[in-house]
Amino acid sequence: VCFFLVNTVFTACELGVFDVLHGAQRPLSAEQLSRQLEASVDGTERLLAACSGLQLLHTHRQEDGTVLYSNTEQASTYLTRSSPLSLCQSIQYYSRTIYLCWHHLTDAVREGRNQYEKAFGVSSQDLFEALYRSDEEMVKFMQLMNSVWNICGRDVVTAFDLSPFKVIYDLGGCSGALAKHCTSAYPECTVTIFDLPKVVQTSREHFVTAAEQRISFHEGDFFKDHLPEADLYILARILHDWTDERCIELLTRVYHACKPGGAVLVVEALLHEDGSGPLTVQFYSLNMLVQTEGRERTAAQYAALLAAAGFTDVQERRTGKIYDAVLGRKEA
């Protein structure tokens, strides 16, 4: 059932069903929609019926028996490209990239490693060379990150009071969505997005405008290049990409760069301490297997990684959303 559900949503978003209905500002029939979607009437009718069954569309039955369709509030909020909370880019990335890796889940479980080579014919020895194997793929990934933080970003940056930290580096800050939430929540801070040169260039061109004056950029590889001194470093959806050994390597570099009295904020989807859930995070951990070198972890496991790098007074905050926050401090 999940297979059918997911593919129905993928297809409706890719065709633009919810966008057309939103733009029409009135209910439309399957025939009217099919013309705008350049799709068959029969196929459109079946897709709309399934979307209605998923409670993504309202149905309006006319006296002549014609059925008209309109978006539910949920569909208008999350499944139209024009919505500030749109998940369309995220859904597209899942459909065209992640889903292809999941075709090889059996091999991933047997081999214990990601499946980029089988899915896309590219070497996965350098994880982000595989993830960013083309400009199009890089933009798609950045749009995915942008849509995630548009929904969850404010919750994670306000899980702790970060106002004492004035100079912030967002390592692997990607599209800058989390940086924007930081500067909005903490008017006295500045945030520097530290990321690979081609990511920084794309972020400047597509995501961060010159008007956002408290956000700046620093090009580099956080495993290889010098990390400038800061009060706070953010690692959001970074550590789950890597093995424990690589996490400790990165966190140790952050610890040495961090000002005394500073901290690191780790943002991740946290497993229950006994590993029994949440189910979404268990699925995410399987996704890390097919896509990366890493895994999802418990708060205690992240605390152990932070302690191994030298951080103390490690605390966690649950947001009630998908992503939670763990803060580790460097003694003054």
Integer Cα distance of 186 and 45 in angstroms: 49
- Residue 34: CB atoms within 10 Å: 20
Tokens of 97: 């990239």
Question: Is the N-terminal amide bond of 278 cis, ω within 30° of 0?
Answer: yes
In this structure, are residues 11 and 47 in contact, taking their beta carbons and an 8 Å threshold?
Answer: yes
CA neighbor of 287 nearest in space, from 104, 83, 62 = 104
Catalytic residue among 104, 181, 218, 240: 240
Q: Is 240 a catalytic residue?
A: yes
Binning the chain into helix, strand and coil, the percentages to the nearest 5 are 50, 20, 30
Strand partners, 294: none
Query: Which pair of structure tokens corresponds to residue 280?
Result: 């979404």
**Angle, vertex CA 77, rays to CA 101 and CA 57, nearest 5:** 85
Beta bridge partners of 193: 170, 217
Task: Just list the catalytic residues.
Answer: 240
